[in-house]
A and B are shown apart, each in its own frame.
Chain A
Amino acid sequence: MMIVALTKERTPMSLILILEQVLNGLQFGVMLFLMAAGLTLVFGVMGLINLAHGALYMVGAFAAAAVAGWTGSFVLALMASLAAAAAAGALVEVTVIRRLYDRDHLDQVLATFALILIFSEGTRWLFGSFPLFLDVPSYLSGPVMLPGGIQYPLYRLAIIVIGLVVGAGLFWLIARTRIGVQIRAGEADREMIAALGVDISKLYTLVFALGAALAGLAGALVGAIQSVQVGMGEPVLILAFVVIVIGGIGSIKGALVGALLVGLTDTLGGVFLPRLFALLMEPASAASLGASLASMLIYILMAAVLLVRPSGLFGGSA
C-alpha cells in the first residue's frame, strides 16, 4: 500500500499485468525481508523487541540522500546508508539497548518508543521537515525487457537482485561462519555461550549493528523510489512486525517466507481486489470497497495464520 505505487493506469487484465505485479510484490517482499531479518535476529538472540528499527531504516535513507547529494554517487550513497545505520545501531546498543535485555517487554517497548521520538525529531531538526530526494542513477533507470515481452523498471529489478543477494549472504553468514555459529548458539542458550568464552556483549552489539545495517540499506533502496522523509520507517516497521508474526519470531527463514507472502498479498490485493469487485458492483463503490479491503488484507492474512499456528509458520514456542 505504500511502497508500490506503480501501474495505476487501466490496462486490461492480462498475463503481463499479473507478472508485473508479481514482480512488484517480490520487490516489496524483498525489502520487507531486509527489515524483518534484523528485527527477528535481535529478538531471537537478545530477546528484545525493538520499535526503533524503523528509525534505523530512516537513518539509512537520510545518510544515502545526503551522500548522494554531496558526491553524486549512488554506490557511495548505499555504502553510507549501511555505515550510518550500523554506526547508529551500535551507538544505541551500547548506550541504551544493552540495559534493556534483562527488562520486561513493556520497558523495551517504552524505551525504544522514546528512541523513535529522539531519532525522528533529531532528524527533523537536522534536515528539516521537507522530504529529500534520492535519484535512481542513470545506469539503473529506465525499463528493461524481460523474457516474455514484459517491460519492467530496471531499478526495481536491481532491488530484487540486491535483496536476494544480501539475503543469501545472511543465510550463509548464519549457517556457515563462526559468527553465525555464535549467533545460533546465542539463540539457543545465552549463559552457555558466555561460559564457553564468547564475548557476549560484543556479539550482541555486532548482531544489533548488522540488523541496523540491513534496515539502513532497505531505507536507502526504497528512498530512491519514494521520498526520504521523517517517519518513513514506521509503516515499514509495522509491516515487518506482521512479517515476523507470520513467519515466527526468531526465524530468518520465517522472515523470508513471511516477507514474500506479505509483499505479494499486499501488492496483488491492492491491484486486483478493486477489479474483482468491479465485476460484481458499480465501479465507484467497487473501487472504494476494494481499496479498503485491500488495505486490511495482510492483517487478515496475519489473523488467519495466528488461528492455525499461534507462534507463526516457522516459530518454536516463543
Chain B
Amino acid sequence: MGREKLFNAAVLLVMLAVPLLAWQMDEPFIITLATKVAILALAGVGLNIALGLGGLVSLGHAAFFGIGGYAMGILASHAQNYEPLFAWPFLFEGSNQMPLIWLVAVLASAAAALVIGALSLRTSGVYFIMITLAFGQMLYYFAISWSAYGGEDGLSIWVRNEMPGVNTLDPIQFFAVAFVLLSLTLWFAARLAKSGFGLALSAARQSEERVETVGLAPFKLRLMAFVISGAITGLAGALFADLNRFVSPTMLSWHTSGEIMIFVILGGVGRLYGPVVGAAVYILLEHLLGGISEYWQIFLGLLLLGMVLFARGGLIGALLGREVAHD
C-alpha cells in the first residue's frame, strides 16, 4: 500500500504543478486542459464508487453528468435573462452562484440516481448494463426534445458563474476550485472505502450470499452507493458545463458514459486515483493524437482494446503491479 500512496501523492502534485507552471509561463490553454482533467477525473471518481467499490457496471452515468450540467444551464440562464424560474411558493429567479448550483446539481442527480438505481438494481449483470444505458438514453432524447432549454442545440450562458471570494473568470482560480473539489472528493472516497459501509459494499460485490447471511441488505448498500456515485458525477457535470459555459444533450449521450468509464479503466478499476490518471491520459491522448490525425479515436480504440485484452489492471496496475488490484 505504501507505494500506491506515494504514487497518488505524486499524481496530485503533478496535477497541481502543471497548471501552476503554465500560469507562470502565461499559457491559459494548458490551465484549461488541466481544469478539464480535474473535472472529468471527478466524474470518474463518482463512477468508480459504483463500479470499483460496488461492482455495478453502469453504462448510464452520462445521465447524472448531464443532469448536473443542465442544473447549471437552467439556473444560470434564468438568472442571466431575468426570467423567474418559478414564482411559487417563493419567487426564484435562478442563480449564478456556484455553491447553490452545485447543491442543486448534487440533489437533482442524486434524486435521479435514486429512481434509476431503484429500478435497475432489481436486476444484475448484463441486464443492469443495458438498463442503465437505456435510462441514460431516455434522458438524452428527453433533453433533445425539451425545446424550452435549447433542445438539440443546447444552452449557452454568457459569463461563467460566480463564487464568493474567487474570480472564476481567471483560469487558474477556476482550476483551483475544481482541484479543491476533486481533492475533497478523493478524500471522501478514501474514507468511504474504509468505512463500515464501504467494506460491506465491497463484500456484497465479492459474495452477495455472505453479506445477506450476516443480515445486511445488498440492494440497500448498492442503491446507496449508486446514489452517492451519481451525485458526485452530477457535481462534475455542473463544473464541466461551467468550464465550457455550455450544456447540450451531448453531455447525456452514451458516448459520455463510455468515456467516463474509460477514465476509470485506463487508470485502473477500484484504484482510488485510477480516474485521475485515466482522465489525464485521455485528455493528453486527445490533445496529442488529435493533433496528428483527425481520426485519433481509431488509436484510442486500439489502445483501449489492447488494454482490456492484455493489461487488465490499467495504467496504475501496470506501474505498481497487481498486489492490491481489483478482484
Contacts and interface: CB of A to CB of B under 8 A. Distances in A.
B262 A110 contact: yes
B139 to A, nearest CB: 8
Nearest to A107: B308
5 contacts: A49-B126, A115-B305, A234-B254, A238-B137, A249-B126
A115 to B, nearest CB: 7
A318 interface: yes
B141 interface: yes
B119 A291 contact: no
A110 B261 contact: yes
A105 B127 CA distance: 10
B76 interface: no
Interface residues of B, number: 43
A111 interface: yes
Contacts of B158: none
Interface stretch (A70-78, A139-147, A299-307): A299-307
Interface in B239-286: 254, 258, 261-262, 265, 269
B304 A110 contact: yes
A295 interface: yes
Contacts of B142: 292, 295-296
Nearest to B302: A118
B305 A111 contact: yes
Contacts of A235: 137
A214 to B, nearest CB: 19
Q: Is the interface of A mostly helix, strand, loop or mixed?
A: helix
Interface in A105-128: 105-107, 109-111, 113-118, 120-122, 124-125
Contacts of B57: 105-106, 109
A85 interface: no
Interface in B299-315: 300-302, 304-305, 307-309, 312
B130 A244 contact: yes
B298 A295 contact: no
A255 to B, nearest CB: 13
Q: Is the interface of B mostly helix, strand, loop or mixed?
A: helix
Contacts of B302: 114, 118
B207 interface: no
Contacts of A310: 122-123, 127
Contacts of B261: 109-110, 113
Interface residues of A, number: 45
Given A241-B133, A296-B142, A120 B297 contact: yes
Interface string B115-131: 00001001101110111
Given A105-B126, A121-B295, A234-B254, 6 more contacts: A113-B258, A115-B301, A238-B133, A238-B137, A241-B133, A288-B146
Contacts of A1: 141
Interface in A196-249: 234-235, 238, 241-242, 244-245, 249
Given A43-B126, A288-B148, A241 B134 contact: yes
Interface in A84-111: 96, 99, 103, 105-107, 109-111
B104 to A, nearest CB: 21
A113 B264 CA distance: 14
A121 B296 CA distance: 8
A137 to B, nearest CB: 33
B16 to A, nearest CB: 30
A265 interface: no
B126 A117 contact: no
Given A117-B301, A296-B138, A306 B147 contact: no
Interface string B132-172: 01110110011011111000000000000000000000000
B270 to A, nearest CB: 11
Closest 4 CB pairs of A and B: A117-B301, A299-B138, A118-B301, A114-B304
B126 A99 contact: no
A125 B295 contact: yes
Given A111-B309, A120-B297, A307 B141 contact: no
Given A105-B57, A311-B123, A118 B137 contact: no
A76 to B, nearest CB: 29
Contact of A121 (B122, B133, B254, B298): B298
A234 B141 CA distance: 13
Residue of B57, B126, B258 contacting most chain A CB atoms (<10 Å): B126
Nearest to A312: B127
B57 to A, nearest CB: 5
B59 interface: yes
Given A111-B305, A111-B309, A296-B138, A245 B125 contact: no
B145 A107 contact: no
A291 B145 contact: yes
B127 A114 contact: no
A247 B319 CA distance: 44
A245 B265 CA distance: 26
A113 B303 CA distance: 12
Residue of B119, B296, B308, B312 contacting most chain A CB atoms (<10 Å): B308
A109 B57 CA distance: 9
Contacts of B119: 303, 306-307
Nearest to B258: A113
A232 B126 CA distance: 23
A273 to B, nearest CB: 11
A288 B147 contact: yes
Contacts of B59: 109
A244 B308 CA distance: 26
Contacts of B262: 110, 113
Interface string A60-81: 0000000000000000000000
B304 A113 contact: yes
